[in-house]
Amino acid sequence: KQEVTQIPAALSVPEGENLVLNCSFTDSAIYNLQWFRQDPGKGLTSLLLIQSSQREQTSGRLNASLDKSSGRSTLYIAASQPGDSATYLCAAFSYNTDKLIFGTGTRLQVFP
Amino acid sequence: DTGVSQDPRHKITKRGQNVTFRCDPISEHNRLYWYRQTLGQGPEFLTYFQNEAQLEKSRLLSDRFSAERPKGSFSTLEIQRTEQGDSAMYLCASSLGRGGADNEQFFGPGTRLTVL
Predicted confidence (pLDDT) per residue in A14-49, tens digit: 999 999 999 999 988 888 999 999 999 899 999 999
Test A100 with B33 for CB contact under 8 angstroms: yes
Q: Is B97 left (phi over 0), alpha (psi -120 to 50) or beta?
A: left
- What is the rounded distance in angstroms from the CA atom of residue A80 to the CA atom of residue A89? 17
Is it the case that residue B94 has pLDDT exceeding 60? yes
Q: What is the pLDDT of residue A64?
A: 97
Test A101 with B103 for CB contact under 8 angstroms: no
User: B interface toward A at CB cutoff 8 Å?
Assistant: 4, 6, 31, 33, 35, 40-45, 48, 55-56, 91, 93, 100-101, 103-110, 112
Exposed/middle/buried for residue B79 (C-beta within 10 Å: 0-12, 13-18, 19+)? buried
Average pLDDT, chain B: 93
Q: How much is the average pLDDT of A1-24?
A: 95
**Please, are residues B88 and B41 in contact by the beta-carbon 8 Å criterion?**
no
How confident is the model over B23-34, as pLDDT tens digits? 999 998 999 999
Q: How much is the average pLDDT of B62-67?
A: 94
The amino acid at residue A44 is L
Higher pLDDT pick, A96 / A1? A1
- Chain B residues with beta carbon closer than 8 angstroms to that of A43: 4, 6, 91, 107-110
Sequence-distant (6+) residues with CB within 8 A of B93 are: A44, A100, B4, B32, B33, B35, B105, B106, B107, B108
**Model confidence band, residue B72 (pLDDT cutoffs 50, 70, 90):** confident
**Please, are residues A55 and A72 in contact by the beta-carbon 8 Å criterion?**
no
Is it the case that residue B98 has pLDDT exceeding 80? no
Test B56 with A99 for CB contact under 8 angstroms: yes
Radius of gyration of chain B (CA): 14
Q: Mark A15-36 as b/e (b = at least 16 C-beta within 10 Å).
A: eeeebebebbbebbebbbbbbb
Test B45 with A101 for CB contact under 8 angstroms: yes
Q: How far is B107 from chain A (nearest CA, A)?
A: 6
Q: What are phi and psi for residue A8, nearest 5 degrees?
A: -80, 170
Q: How much is the average pLDDT of B87-103?
A: 88
**Model confidence band, residue B103 (pLDDT cutoffs 50, 70, 90):** confident
Test A46 with B105 for CB contact under 8 angstroms: yes
Highest mean pLDDT: which range of A30-34, A53-57, A83-87, A93-97: A83-87
**Model confidence band, residue B1 (pLDDT cutoffs 50, 70, 90):** low
Task: Write out the H or E segment, with its range, that includes residue B11.
Answer: strand B10-13
Q: How far is B112 from chain A (nearest CA, A)?
A: 8
* Secondary structure of B28-49 in HEC code, one letter for each residue: CCCEEEEEEECCCCCCEEEEEE
**Model confidence band, residue A103 (pLDDT cutoffs 50, 70, 90):** very high
Q: How much is the average pLDDT of B77-99?
A: 94
**Window from A52-56, A79-83, A89-93, A95-99 with minimum mean pLDDT:** A95-99
- Chain A residues with beta carbon closer than 8 angstroms to that of B90: none
